[in-house]
Amino acid sequence: MARYIFVVGGVMSGVGKGTTTASIGLLLKSKGYTVTAVKIDPYINLDAGTMNPTEHGEVFVTVDGDETDQDLGNYERFLDINILSDNYMTTGRVYQSVIDRERNLEYKGKCVEVVPHVPEEIIRRIERAGKKAKADFVLIEIGGTVGEYQNILFLEAARMMKLRRPKNVLFVLVSYLPVPAKIGEMKTKPTQYAVRTLNSAGIQPDLVVCRSDVPIDVPRKQKLAIFCNMAPEDIIAAQDVSSVYEVPLLLESQHIAERILKKVGLRVKKQDLQEWRALFNTIQNATREVNIAVVGKYFSTGNFVLSDSYISVIEALKHGSWAHKVKPVLHWLNSEDYEKEPAQLKELSKYDGVVIPGGFGTRGVEGKIMAVQYVREHGIPYFGLCYGLQMAVIEFARHLCGLKDANTAEVNPKTSNPVVHILPEQKKNLAHKNQEFGAQGIWRAGNF
């Protein structure tokens, strides 16, 4: 019988639930158990393909073609398995399934209600993912933060599963402990409130993973244990580290996997983290640098930079570098800057290579084409991914083939030289204003 571990977040978003989920999965796998992971996105969108990358981060495409949350990429990188579409759900998908089942008379005349029918559909999807993977452990990451209206039905599904399988369902709260600069003391109160908010949903966490700038100390660990009704050993330190690939080793040093196995009545079958330790050793000891420029347009969000817009590209560049025992140094460049000030293009000469990743829409396109021309003319290694490849085709057509107005039909439908065109099936969907594709259908065609 599978065991289920729900991972939820406290205090703020972006606290590291995905990395924690993937790390726990890796450690359980290293102890001899089969593991899979499920991501729940509390958005109405049917998939991540129509979510704003600056707000939500990059879309991760599964081997069976589903457009999902970037955390599934984390799961794959850590667990070294393929995660399928069954392991991803959104509020939109759940409600659509419930409505479809109601229309097909599958509820046999019952009045269909939000509770229990929506949580039951969530449970059905979780169990299906576990069965298809033949997993001993199913880790379920619930997006958002406890206390938000959007994820309350997913917490209700988790509560119901705990009620049905009290010995086989655990809860991990990943929460943030701030150290206000003007105070200089780590504060536990926000996490205490997060636990009480989770209690109000009928759930008591089995473990609290404490995210912070510095390790949680003994007095604060004891305070959390008392006020959150937990053993001190179940309060896990997860301070900031130099690389996400160090997180499993940090959690392993505190025996988190052993704590989990003990709670569900299982034992350690083996100890196997050698390959992971070797990877981290390479990351720590690589000294020769390779400087790569990533030219995009989704980095800027107000006064901040969101590199999650291209996280799979970034991780691929890192792993490619580590495979050659070199240290990757990535530089974020905005293609729109080149349109405003073409003289800035000369900065590309500083880098060992230039990458233009995927995207869609007209914003920043000419800047990308200018960047492609510069690196081609100056012999700088270039890697174009999907939209980046399209920009290379357009640049080549314009400047080497003499097709001055060459373009993609997405950017200029009236161009006389559409060297990149919309896929016929996407064009049909757009013509009929298919709700599933909408304006994003072009982007999907361009990316995949």
Angle, helices 218-227/189-200, rounded to nearest 10 degrees: 20
Looking at the 3D structure of the chain, how many domains does it have? 2
**What is the per-residue pLDDT for 77?**
93
**What is the per-residue pLDDT for 14?**
86
Residue 237 sits in a domain whose CATH number is 3.40.50.300
Q: Are residues 200 and 304 in the same domain?
A: no
Higher per-residue pLDDT: 287 or 304: 287
Closest by CA position to 33, among listed 250, 277, 271, 209:
271
**Domain final residue pick, 252, 278, 304:** 278
In a domain, 352, yes or no: yes
Distance between CA 391 and CA 322 in Å, rounded?
Answer: 28
List of residues 6+ apart from 53 with CB closer than 8 A: 59, 298, 309
Q: Over the stretch 143-176, which tens digit does the pLDDT of each residue have?
A: 999 999 999 999 999 999 999 999 999 999 999 9
Helix (H, G, I), strand (E, B) or coil at 359: coil
Q: Are residues 171 and 317 in the same domain?
A: no
Q: Element (H or E) spanning 168, and its range?
A: none
List of residues 6+ apart from 217 with CB closer than 8 A: 186
In a domain, 283, yes or no: no
Range of the domain at 101: 3-278
List of residues 6+ apart from 257 with CB closer than 8 A: 24, 27, 28, 30, 31, 251, 268
- Point out which residues pair with 305 in neighbouring strands: 300
CB 246 within 8 A of CB 78: no
**What is the per-residue pLDDT for 444?**
39
- At 371, give phi and psi (nearest 5°): -65, -40
Q: Are residues 202 and 324 in the same domain?
A: no
**What is the per-residue pLDDT for 305?**
57
- Point out which residues pair with 300 in neighbouring strands: 305
| Degrees to nearest 5, angle at CA 63 with 77 and 276 | 15
Beta strands in 318-435 (DSSP E): 327-334, 353-356, 382-384, 407-408, 418-420
Q: What CA–CA distances, in Å, run from 61 to 56, 70, 219, 313?
A: 15, 9, 44, 12
**Domain final residue pick, 278, 303, 322:** 278
Angle, helices 256-263/17-30, rounded to nearest 10 degrees: 70
Q: Are residues 232 and 300 in the same domain?
A: no
Q: Are residues 186 and 302 in the same domain?
A: no
- At 280, give phi and psi (nearest 5°): -65, -35
Higher per-residue pLDDT: 305 or 105: 105
Q: Tell me the residue type at 422.
A: I
Q: Over the stretch 30-55, which tens digit does the pLDDT of each residue have?
A: 999 999 999 999 999 998 877 776 67
Q: Are residues 245 and 140 in the same domain?
A: yes
**What is the per-residue pLDDT for 409?**
87
Average pLDDT, stretch 86-94? 96
Q: Are residues 206 and 298 in the same domain?
A: no
**What is the per-residue pLDDT for 436?**
44
**Domain final residue pick, 258, 278, 298:** 278
Residues present in the chain in total? 448
Q: Is the pLDDT of residue 79 over 70?
A: yes
HSE (CB half, 13 Å, CA atoms) of 255?
A: 10
Poorest-pLDDT segment among 136-140, 253-257, 420-424: 420-424
DSSP, res 382: E
CB 391 within 8 A of CB 372: yes
Closest by CA position to 88, among listed 110, 63, 108:
63
Placement of tokens 């004891």 in the chain: 222
Distance between CA 419 and CA 412 in Å, rounded?
Answer: 11
Q: What CA–CA distances, in Å, run from 25 to 93, 127, 368, 382?
A: 25, 17, 39, 36
Q: Are residues 308 and 213 in the same domain?
A: no
Q: pLDDT-derived band of residue 430, with 50, 70 and 90 as boundaries?
A: low
Strand order in the sheet with 207-212: 88-90, 35-41, 137-142, 3-10, 169-176, 207-212, 235-239
CB 299 within 8 A of CB 52: no
In a domain, 170, yes or no: yes
Closest by CA position to 312, among listed 355, 361, 253, 250:
355
In a domain, 359, yes or no: yes
**What is the per-residue pLDDT for 442?**
39
In a domain, 402, yes or no: yes
In a domain, 140, yes or no: yes
In a domain, 419, yes or no: yes
Q: Are residues 71 and 130 in the same domain?
A: yes
Residue 392 sits in a domain whose CATH number is 3.40.50.880
Pairing of strands 300-301, 304-305: antiparallel
Q: Are residues 247 and 329 in the same domain?
A: no
Q: pLDDT-derived band of residue 59, with 50, 70 and 90 as boundaries?
A: confident
**What is the per-residue pLDDT for 300?**
58
Q: Are residues 34 and 159 in the same domain?
A: yes
Closest by CA position to 10, among listed 260, 190, 215, 151:
190
Placement of tokens 């690589």 in the chain: 286
In a domain, 372, yes or no: yes
Helix (H, G, I), strand (E, B) or coil at 174: strand
Q: Are residues 189 and 271 in the same domain?
A: yes
